[in-house]
Amino acid sequence: MNTSTGDIALLYSEIEKFSISSPDDLENFRLKFLVKKGIIPSLLSEIKNIAPENRRDYGESVNKLKTLAESKFKTAGEEIINKQSVASDTLLDLSLPGPEMPLGSIHPVTLIRNRIIEIFSHIGFTVSYGPEIEDDWHNFTALNMGENHPARDMQDTFFIQKNPDILLRTHTSNVQIRVMENQKPPIRTLSPGRTFRNEAISARAHCMFHQVEGLYIDEGVSFSDLKQTLQYFVHEMFGKEISMRLRASYFPFTEPSAEVDITCLICKSKGCNVCKHSGWVEIMGAGMVDPAVLENGKIDSEKFTGFAFGMGIERIAMLKYQINDLRLFQENDLRFLRQWVGG
Ligand code: DAH
């Protein structure tokens, strides 16, 4: 190609007249004149074909063209940006609500734990915590679970390798012993926390779950105090229309022991799968603290009596919110958790 100065003059006026009023125009301009294979870089690369005596003039004119195209591109680009922001300013309606922010939610296990603590705090219960990694004494022996008790079976307990004395606590009852060792009656305390059992994970069982333990020790604490306290809890947690019953049971650390049932919330006691058509569902274990357990906690069992209870937080949440699969509590599926936004 042999480009004459006349051609360059024509291009000069083409650039001047090129109308740029939109981002598309701007891009077309850039593609035509400025990109590597566009007109101006092509003209520049042609300089080697120009006769030596004309090179200087040629170079000067192409450089002028280049300066013109670059400054036009810059100015037109700035104008387009300004125009756009003016346009969006005029559209801005300050009375419109702001953009929606996604809200987090409190986990149902936390909601129920907090509610249990709140209910018992109204009748003087404090909160105590204990270790999740526990020794045999606090998890088993001090709670009257002799060496051959089935609850110690390897099936249920996660032991820490190399030291069978150290394990992941299988229940929050370990905190009973720790509180007794460190406090003098009257003791009125709740111990929420994580518990671990070597269970296959299914809709009804999990290897990690949450419990709340309750402990009340003073002079003259009786079984009727236990019953009254649990009755109060059931009414506060589930509503006054829900009834409670105690069923005789056995736990190594309480005597007498009971399991606590409430009328089935799902079918209103008409009979359903959850209550196995009995009209009742179990919510916790309870009983009078065995005198031997008091003594293990260094409390004078001649002077003091007490009651204890333990419940699974997931169990209460399942009944309260009608959740039918224990795994949902651990999976952190947002579709599940979002149901408690604002809860
Ligand atoms: N520790 C028992 C369990 O994990 C629950 C329990 C039952 C706790 C009776 C108690 C109690 O304090 O008195 O199944």
pLDDT tens, residue by residue, 226-252: 999 999 999 999 999 999 999 999 999
Residues 6+ apart with CB under 8 A from 149: 140, 252
* Alpha-carbon gap, residue 275 to 231, rounded angstroms: 20
Domain locations along the chain: 5-91, 108-340
Assess whether the C-beta atom of 312 lies below 6 angstroms from ligand 1: no
Assess whether the C-beta atom of 152 lies below 6 angstroms from ligand 1: no
| For ligand 1, atom 8: residue with the closest CA | 310
pLDDT at 1 over 50: no
User: Of how many residues is the chain composed?
Assistant: 343
Architecture per CATH, 108-340 = 2-Layer Sandwich (3.30)
| For ligand 1, atom 3: residue with the closest CA | 171
Assess whether the C-beta atom of 286 lies below 6 angstroms from ligand 1: yes
Q: Which of 4, 8, 139, 142 is nearest to 65 (CA)?
A: 8
pLDDT in tens, 32-42: 999 999 999 99
pLDDT band, residue 11 (cuts 50/70/90) = very high
Instruction: Give distance in angstroms: CA of 274 to centre of ligand 1.
Output: 22
Residue from 169, 227, 253 whose mutation best tests the ligand 1 pocket (most atoms within 8 A of CB): 253
